[in-house]
Amino acid sequence: MKTRRSFIFSTFALFLLSMLTISSIYGARVELKSAKAAPPPKSGYKHEASEVEFPQDIGEFEMGMITNFDKYGFNTSIRYSKLTTPPVSVTVYLYPIMRGGSFSEVLINEAKVVEHSILYSGEYENSARDFIAICHDEHELPGVHAEYVSKKENSSKYTILFLFVLQGWTHKYRITAYGDKVETYSLCEQVVSAITLQHSKRYSRKWI
């Protein structure tokens, strides 16, 4: 167990790690047009296509703008913000998986595309990357974790990525924060547990 977060490693996650070290990841950028943003409903939000539910508030986080990137509402992002100093923001992206195959193949392929999109701007460099599992009440869901730090001198800004695939959908969490990473990882767990882990309990390890 790593002290910076309470997510734990599973034997399945270690098996995935032995299959592939994603030290250099490339993929095509996915450009989605016709994005439409809307303020959040007062009672939370349900993504109808996947049936994933997003609470209005998660701990100290408040739901912000909801953006649909296509006319069918398949590709969606939901932003949560913790209005502190320094601020913490979490954007949850939900979209259909782009490639078929086994669970491990899908997870790795999704991670390739996501990491490429983060590094493409040149603002960040990778500082950590591993496979993880989120657990609650003996329920476990494997995923990918990565961390990126700002290239700017004397900047404490960093981005944390969590990626899961579940029932044909990619769940991507991008957290932007400053300063104390231990606290940020604790906040990350709250958000992931309230959305993806809660939803995954329906499927009893039938991930894709």
Q: From CA 73, how far away is CA 95, in angstroms rounded? A: 9
Q: From CA 3, how far away is CA 18, in angstroms rounded? A: 22
* pLDDT tens sequence across 132-155: 777 766 667 788 888 888 888 888
- E strands, the chain, are 36-38, 45-47, 52-54, 57-58, 61-68, 76-82, 88-96, 124-136, 139-150, 157-166, 169-178
- pLDDT reported for residue 115: 79
Q: Which are the contacts of 96, defined by CB distance < 8 A and separation ≥ 6?
A: 74, 75, 168, 169, 170
Is there a contact between 199 and 52 (Cβ–Cβ < 8 Å)?
A: yes
Helix, strand, coil percentages in the chain from 3-state DSSP, rounded to 5: 20, 40, 40
pLDDT higher at 109 or 24: 109
Q: From CA 142, how far away is CA 137, in angstroms rounded? A: 15
Question: Which residue, among 33, 24, 7, 5, has the nearest Cα to 142 in the 3D structure?
Answer: 7
pLDDT higher at 83 or 174: 174
Statement: residue 5 has pLDDT above 90: no
Q: What percent of the chain has pLDDT over 90?
A: 24
Statement: residue 94 has pLDDT above 70: yes
pTM: 0.77
Q: Which are the contacts of 151, defined by CB distance < 8 A and separation ≥ 6?
A: 122, 123, 124, 125
Q: From CA 91, how far away is CA 77, in angstroms rounded? A: 7
Arithmetic mean of pLDDT, 75-95: 90
Arithmetic mean of pLDDT, 168-183: 89
- pLDDT reported for residue 99: 65
